[in-house]
Structure 1
């Protein structure tokens, strides 16, 4: 069989690679710098809040301030990450440049005064806003703008967590459930790697997680893994998926009913801030406000402590769901991903005791699987396990993430995410956004 070799194909590929490297580099470097500043400022805000406990009582006023800033900037910007997804699927509307500074400032306000939120949404929105600005400057076509925005998302995600490969795959996978479009593959990888390198070069250090558990000796010597442990991971994956489903539904529900029953929009975040304060008072703890990666005290419930026996309470995962759903559902700003890490790690901590599984292993699986179920990104979250914990347990990462993904159903934290391929044969929601699908189900 004769194989034809056309030299101009490789020349064209090389040209496209150089072109997109040139276009993506400024986006990635700018995003990396902004993310580095954001992470530095976030740490300062967290420290300041912990040193001055009275700041929590100003959370309702802070919420009112956030509402006012977005009111003056326009409702379009308030859509956040969903605006970027819409701009990728239906180019033309564009993303205002003011999104980047606005989400940066309001996320810092949320954390300074004690809201329960994350950081991924802020980084992704900054990356998308910067990408749109450069796209206008370079006078790109609509198709090229789609690729540029996707690369901006990858840059923000890769830099904020120190997981560039995950960032690249996440940006491709999050656009539509069940579909990964490879058109932006190389731009996303370049953007995520460069943004991460830029962020780290500015002195930012990401939290290091470690799963020390080695695989147990298989009960059956001719198998290379423990089948009983695998069965427990599958069961845990179901629970993780249901947790992701619960978080997504509660978040959307609070947002919907707050808007319906609180007629004055500025009053919604005020009420949300009051609820967070009351919850802290009732539970007599502040472990569930803020980012939650580390705690104020050595015995605080946190993501890091959840990797150790006794590092979380039985209901820690539930309370983090409530705190975060109230915070984000009632108008405060930030991401959902780090709270999902907290929910998954603490849920895994509790399940490990019940199932007799090593705590660090199941906390790590919950860490990635609950996020994967709520964002509908099982491939990206499997890769995140490899980047954060090492590749030794990659089979368990995949089993937990894939199982959780299916059991979360057609729900998710991104309402503008498209449904590309059905999860369930009984439903036919392909082509709809998650929000359209939920609205349709609610009217049936």
Structure 2
């Protein structure tokens, strides 16, 4: 008789199904944008004014659609997914799949300066969430499927399966676990495979092969990392300031995208390269070619970077639907082109051309926007398949992300949530965590073991207990260490059972105390990858009061969320 499929095998199959579905939606979304974009030819008789008219027409459809059907489809999409994971157990309404796809296709197709990545993250996440809800799965598994859908969407959109998986973990979930990572990778591969089978396997950008000309360039790329961080912060602040301005305008919310279409359409008449996604302009820049008939080249690149910030802010800030990721890549490429043209003119013998710095700029500005350097590095590598410039890319991305973290705790995604009063920490609302104290959730009384006990005796205790780790106390009952099953496994087999607990235990402890809030406690678990923390008196670290686990924190967090919803 055939064996019954295990729960984990079923989850693997479901992750692949979500990946395939998200990949198909990415392809449909791609063609939907092309279809909408082709509609501008119907207004050919209007001449150059058709750009403005088409943009306003798009806004007149998107505004009511989003306002009356799915308000969470407004804007760039990624923060809404992060909010669903942190506060709603990963639950996203199924209607978001359709509304986000159509609204974003119309916004981008009618000339709006926005990207496909934010919408496809939300579309894929909504698909994963819908599957999880239909099958009445646990909150943890629904969140996992949300991450699978997001990863597959990114992988299919940019032909970047590795970056898609890392993006879902680094940005959406805010944490890495082995089990979730494997499922997200499978979904990401499935999404990319679907996209490649239909759209082809070419990289998103075909670039010249750039080498590091000299070791002196490391200094130039380090300086550029700081410049990229500043540009990323300017982009973020202008975006949300524009949103505030539109929010303050006393007209119905669903009409505001029409006003936004008018403004970015008029702006596009002056500089059409600032509209849409701008791939052709980026290709020229990555090839080291000045995309405008303006000299010097520095001025052309700088003007385009500034124009993209303005047009994207008008598009998204007015209520349009689309991503901020790809415009960030455009801004980064132009910033790099401007910087590269200057340093190459000053030091031609020891520096590469503007194309090399444009390539690095794409990743560096993204890293400065999101504080996600791993995603930035992998994304650029997969999108270009250019490994030769990986060291400058890593240097600039790492430095931009580091400086961005020093400047602000918020990213372009989390700032939108903070403006709503949501402060995320490891994928959870830190405001909720800060309202709970360790003393309220710690387990007590505590099962502890003596330091003079042998490992053989301890193993017998573990065999009759559900615990795999224990605080260790001395003869006076004072806390002196902690020992886990993993510590025992790392002990050499010969003579293992006769060894004393004190010879194996971990003495350098990470501690908590009853008055500590959970937002301060949670990061301690990742500090040394521990699963439990001893709780002691603040003034007397030797006095053991209780034990707190990561699971205790998650349960308390979810319980408080339910209580707040009821009130």
Which category describes the TM-score, using the shorter chain as reference length? 0.7 to 0.9
Structure 2: distance between partners of 1:268 and 1:100 = 23
User: Residue 317 of structure 1 corresponds to which residue in structure 2?
Assistant: 305
2:368 pairs with 358, 364, 373, which one? 373
Query: Aligned-pair distance for 1:90?
Result: 2.6
Counterparts of 1:184-333 in structure 2 under 5 Å? 184-204=180-200, 206-216=203-213, 218=214, 226=215, 228-281=216-269, 283=270, 285-294=271-280, 302-307=281-286, 308-311=288-291, 313=300, 314-333=302-321
User: Residue 46 of structure 1 corresponds to which residue in structure 2?
Assistant: 37
CA offsets 1:116-148 (integer angstroms, 9 cap, x no match): 111001110110111011102222101111111
Aligned partner of residue 40 in structure 1, secondary structure? helix
Query: Is 1:118 paired with 2:115?
Result: yes
Structure 1: distance between partners of 2:343 and 2:8 = 49
Structure 2: distance between partners of 1:386 and 1:206 = 10
Assess if the C-alpha contact under 8 Å between 2:274 and 2:307 holds in 1: yes
Query: Is 1:75 paired with 2:71?
Result: yes
Q: Residues 49 and 28 from structure 1, CA distance in 2 versus in 1: closer, same or farther, beyond 3 angstroms?
A: same
Structure 1: distance between partners of 2:223 and 2:250 = 40
Assess if the C-alpha contact under 8 Å between 2:129 and 2:143 holds in 1: no
1:65 pairs with 61, 66, 71, which one? 61
Task: Using structure 1 for the length normalisation, give the TM-score.
Answer: 0.82
Structure 2: distance between partners of 1:252 and 1:180 = 29
User: Residue 412 of structure 1 corresponds to which residue in structure 2?
Assistant: 411
Query: Aligned-pair distance for 1:419?
Result: 4.6
User: Residue 469 of structure 2 corresponds to which residue in structure 1?
Assistant: none
Query: Aligned-pair distance for 1:180?
Result: 4.3
Structure 2: distance between partners of 1:176 and 1:194 = 20
CA offsets 1:384-406 (integer angstroms, 9 cap, x no match): 22222322222211111111113
Between the two proteins, the alignment pairs up a number of residues equal to 393
Query: Aligned-pair distance for 1:48?
Result: 4.4
Assess if the C-alpha contact under 8 Å between 2:285 and 2:291 holds in 1: yes
Counterparts of 1:39-188 in structure 2 under 5 Å? 39-49=30-40, 52=44, 54-78=50-74, 80-92=77-89, 94-175=91-172, 180-188=176-184
CA offsets 1:25-55 (integer angstroms, 9 cap, x no match): 1111111111111112323433544784515
Structure 1: distance between partners of 2:241 and 2:282 = 26
Structure 2: distance between partners of 1:138 and 1:56 = 46
Structure 1: distance between partners of 2:291 and 2:403 = 27
Structure 1: distance between partners of 2:62 and 2:289 = 39
Alignment RMSD: 2.6
Query: Aligned-pair distance for 1:203?
Result: 3.1
User: Residue 353 of structure 2 corresponds to which residue in structure 1?
Assistant: 358
Q: Which moved more, 1:238-247 or 1:54-63?
A: 54-63
User: Residue 18 of structure 2 corresponds to which residue in structure 1?
Assistant: 27
Task: Using structure 2 for the length normalisation, give the TM-score.
Answer: 0.65
Assess if the C-alpha contact under 8 Å between 1:172 and 1:182 holds in 2: no
Query: Aligned-pair distance for 1:181?
Result: 4.9
Q: Which moved more, 1:84-93 or 1:114-123?
A: 84-93
Structure 1: distance between partners of 2:386 and 2:241 = 37
User: Residue 10 of structure 1 corresponds to which residue in structure 2?
Assistant: none
Structure 1: distance between partners of 2:227 and 2:178 = 31
Structure 2: distance between partners of 1:342 and 1:78 = 22
Assess if the C-alpha contact under 8 Å between 2:82 and 2:173 holds in 1: no
Query: Aligned-pair distance for 1:17?
Result: 6.1
Q: Residues 30 and 341 from structure 1, CA distance in 2 versus in 1: closer, same or farther, beyond 3 angstroms?
A: same
Structure 2: stretches of 5+ with no match in the other structure: 293-299, 345-351, 418-422, 428-433, 435-517, 521-567
| Rg larger in structure | 2
Assess if the C-alpha contact under 8 Å between 1:252 and 1:329 holds in 2: yes
Assess if the C-alpha contact under 8 Å between 1:155 and 1:195 holds in 2: yes
Structure with greater strand share of residues: 2
Structure 1: distance between partners of 2:58 and 2:95 = 20
Aligned partner of residue 187 in structure 2, secondary structure? helix
Structure 2: distance between partners of 1:93 and 1:180 = 17
Counterparts of 1:404-443 in structure 2 under 5 Å? 404-408=400-404, 409-410=407-408, 411-414=410-413, 415-416=416-417, 418-420=424-426
Assess if the C-alpha contact under 8 Å between 2:89 and 2:143 holds in 1: no
Structure 1: distance between partners of 2:229 and 2:325 = 15
